[in-house]
Structure 1
């Protein structure tokens, strides 16, 4: 039997938001705000007015927020509350989700770093070419299978180690892709869709300007403003020594607040790809195995 409730999902979310704020407030010692513990203080943690003052909001308004009333805090206010309540990254993300707000993006200039556990997983994919790309599609890390199939990323740097740059300007990479035009159009449309949040970023604008000058196809297709979001597909390549190979590929977002993604290629039975990949890995130079 269906049980009817007398409150909406929005009301439930507001109540949970208020309860979460209250729990974070009560766990904090007044000393974090430089408040002394007097003998008559009985409130566990901080008082509502102390949090409100630290966040720069009104006490009554903050009280309503904890009570689950219909108030809509802005992203700026949520950030101020996060700081006042000393929330860590996971707690801040949870607060924004409960409030129905988009978490502010990391500054575009923030350094992208592939952490140890992700590197270990990347290298454990011994028979699956895989690499990690950053927000601008620069290749940040790769395994030995990726180097054997797609080439030595370690020999590239700067813009030349960028996926879009390789697809549109590298003769060897262009020859590698059997269906180059189809792949290139998909890559361009996906890149435009994912880079929309970075409009105005100098690194993105410089890359686009470089490609407009370097590639006639990019120059012709970029103004068409096609967008696409595709997380998987099949890629056919023409390897310089192994010949034709076929891979199924999948894109995985890294859930750490960055725009890094893990791209994994699984060899298919077509074109005897599995055996060809095994042969390439056996003869791969040690210095090209992974990075």
Structure 2
């Protein structure tokens, strides 16, 4: 099986205190991985148990194979060796070991890395916030973090630019969707202007997160997957957040004109509720029709 590229064991110079802290964290990580590995049965991952199996749960080589990493490298990880671990490998291990959101966060924290996937369990997404999103219909609304991950949304927003429920959670990011998702892109009337503004906003916001791995991973993905983004990014334009009138071509109800507003959920410029209020009566009627379509779809799926 093809394996992921392994990370080199090139430790940076450290003080005795940081070396001790790093050692403790590596041993905690090793113990955590062993515990999770020993509590997953071969049957859970589609492997035969066999008669001679003495190891509780999975063997190290089985975890390595399932996660597409080298057996020796994974063994070193469980031995608390001083090696660097990438976010891609951590993601693969989290999936292989069936980690829940809390365990996944613990894994990344022990490894000293930031999880690059959207933060679906944001503390700002309370039942009250979800209720407000629902009550705002037919006005499309969602909650985004400063990295443009879409953390929650109401039914009208879910059909505004694309079928959001069909988008994998790791792709529910406005930057990713604006530059790589065909349906999302086709719904934006002034796409080039919107892309240029988003790239400028993203650059301005990223200035406060330059050292954070999750931001660097997102930037790397955008540059790799979108020539349009690379062109916009290389202009080094910056702009702050501001309200703006927008036009969308919705595939269900046609042209909609809305006024975009950011409602910040805290004193810091972090999570925010993004709303799209209809700018005219025609848009209001079409948003109401879109809400009804979303309600009917939800009922059909529940039935």
Alignment match, 1:286: 298
Which of the residues 160, 183, 188 maps onto 1:149?
Answer: 160
Q: Does 1:164 align with 2:175?
A: yes
Q: Does 1:273 align with 2:292?
A: no
Q: For 1:179 and 1:155, how far apart are their aligned partners in 2?
A: 24
**1:239 match:** 250
Deviations 1:59-86 (A, max 9, x none): xxxxxxxxxxxxxxxxxxxxxxxxxxxx
Question: Does residue 273 of structure 2 align to residue 262 of structure 1?
Answer: yes
Cross-structure match for 1:188: 199
For residue 176 of structure 1, report the CA deviation from its aligned partner: 0.3
2:215 counterpart SS class:
helix
1:131 and 1:140 in contact (8 A); partners too: yes
Would the aligned equivalents of 2:161 and 2:188 in 1 still touch at CA under 8 Å? Answer: no
2:260 corresponds to which residue?
Answer: 249
* CA 184–288 in structure 1, closer or farther in 2 if over 3 Å, else same: farther
Partner of 1:128, secondary structure, is coil
1:117 to 115, 122, 128: 128
SS in 1 for 2:266: coil
Change over 3 Å in CA distance of 1:181–1:251 after alignment to 2: same
Q: Write the distance in 2 (CA, Å) between the matches of 1:148 and 1:218.
A: 24
Unaligned runs of 5+ in 2: 1-112
For 2:3, the equivalent position in structure 1 comes to none
Question: 1:214 maps to which residue?
Answer: 225
- Partner SS for 2:234: helix
Q: In structure 2, how many angstroms separate the alpha carbons of the residues matched to 1:283 and 1:153?
A: 14
- Give the one of 212, 216, 225 matched to 1:205: 216
Secondary structure of 1:231's counterpart equals coil
The CA deviation at 1:225 is: 1.6
CA contact (8 A) 2:200 2:236 kept: yes
**Cα distance in 2 between the residues matched to 1:258 and 1:220:** 27
TM-score (ref. length: structure 1): 0.58
Aligned length: 182
Structure 1 runs not aligned, ≥5 long: 1-106
Check conservation: 1:159, 1:165, Cα contact below 8 A.
no
Moved over 6 A (4+): 107-110
Q: Counterpart of 2:47?
A: none
Q: Does the CA-based 8 Å contact 2:179-2:185 persist in structure 1?
A: yes
**Structure 1 residue 286, shift from structure 2 partner:** 0.8
TM superposition score normalised by structure 2: 0.56
